[in-house]
């Protein structure tokens, strides 16, 4: 993997139910510090809490870099791609050019994530994160029914990779991998919500990606899993997520990098939970 524009991913596990006090404290931080966004105040709404927690991740990342909130600003391209620009201060011009931090935020169910990289602005913005819970929707439907409901997002080549004879477990995992790959790429290029997912094709066995029938060149796709234990009232529920980070490196070919063990992730994926995030709230506004 390239050392130019190193990728880091933060994953926040919403591993338990939250209190109104926690919602209030987190919402206030986002309200005070994330100037490009206004999340309506709605404590009982779990989706609102997901948004709030997800948008705290850039604040946490910059805090880890010991860069005070007053020393950086969040910038955005015309198609909604975010990057963080630090105050030049005494930074040499060349260092300033390479200090831009591109990032993308995503969340699904109990997992919030941020993928980021640092370098030149036009490079670092081409990053996207796809997160897909490995489960059927709505709950209780068969894998076959769920797969059929997602068929419009897939190409014939992709549908051939998830035939029922493979068994529910394999079909569901492969489907979620395909959907996470597509989500990561769509977000990396800054496409709007209405983008036709069937325009993209990921032939996983051949590690080939195509868009509108043409090879997608120069992309790096990092594919990994996250497993969480989530406390729901008196139950501890295990959830599995298929995750993909897509980044445009401009190389001749696109590469697929599979991370199958926790050890593979140690160097570039950081997992935290609600307690850890709430604990650092006083430091995020400094």
Summarize pLDDT for 123-182 with one digit per residue, the tens.
999 999 999 999 999 999 999 999 999 999 999 999 999 999 999 999 999 999 999 999
Summarize pLDDT for 54-104 with one digit per residue, the tens.
999 999 999 999 999 999 999 999 999 999 999 998 789 999 999 999 999
Summarize pLDDT for 191-217 with one digit per residue, the tens.
988 999 999 999 999 999 999 999 999
185 and 246 in contact (C-beta within 8 Å)?
yes
Q: Which fold has domain 7-284?
A: Ribosomal Protein L22; Chain A (3.90.470)
Domain boundaries, the chain: 7-284
Indicate the pTM of the whole model.
0.95
Q: Residue 245, class by beta-carbon neighbours within 10 Å (0-12 exposed, 13-18 middle, 19+ buried)?
A: buried
Residue 1 has pLDDT above 60, yes or no: no
Quickly state the pLDDT bin for 4 (edges 50, 70, 90): confident
CA-based nearest residue to 128, from 222, 52, 212:
222
Q: Tell me, what's the pLDDT at 262?
A: 82
Residue 263 has pLDDT above 90, yes or no: no
- What's the mean pLDDT in 23-39? 96
What DSSP assignment string belongs to 138-170? STTS-HHHHHHHHGGGS-HHHHGGG-GGG-HHH
Summarize pLDDT for 222-254 with one digit per residue, the tens.
999 999 999 988 899 999 999 999 999 999 999
């Amino acid at each position: 993997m390239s050392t130019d524009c190193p990728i880091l991913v933060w994953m926040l596990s919403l591993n338990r139910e939250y209190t109104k006090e926690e919602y209030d404290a987190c919402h206030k931080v986002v309200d005070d510090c994330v100037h490009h966004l206004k999340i309506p105040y709605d404590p009982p709404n779990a989706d609102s809490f997901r948004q709030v927690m997800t948008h705290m991740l850039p604040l946490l990342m910059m805090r880890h870099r010991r860069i005070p909130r007053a020393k950086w600003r969040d910038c955005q391209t015309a198609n909604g791609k975010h990057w963080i620009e630090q105050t030049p201060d005494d930074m040499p011009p060349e260092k300033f050019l390479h200090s831009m931090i591109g990032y993308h935020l995503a969340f699904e169910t109990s997992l919030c994530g941020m993928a980021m990289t640092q370098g030149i602005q036009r490079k670092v913005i081409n990053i996207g994160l796809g997160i897909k819970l490995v489960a059927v929707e709505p709950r209780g439907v068969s894998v076959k029914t769920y797969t059929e409901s997602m068929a419009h997002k897939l190409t014939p080549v992709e549908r051939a990779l998830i035939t029922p004879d493979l068994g529910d477990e394999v079909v569901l995992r492969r489907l979620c991998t395909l959907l996470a790959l597509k989500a990561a790429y769509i977000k990396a290029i800054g496409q709007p919500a209405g983008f036709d997912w069937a325009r993209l094709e990921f032939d996983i066995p051949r590690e080939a990606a195509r868009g509108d029938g043409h090879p997608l060149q120069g992309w790096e796709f990092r594919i990994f899993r996250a497993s969480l234990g989530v406390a729901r009232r008196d139950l501890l529920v295990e959830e599995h997520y298929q995750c993909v980070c897509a980044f445009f490196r401009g190389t001749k070919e696109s590469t697929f990098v599979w991370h199958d063990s926790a050890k593979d992730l140690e160097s570039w994926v950081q997992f935290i939970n609600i307690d850890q995030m709430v604990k650092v709230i006083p430091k995020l506004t400094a």
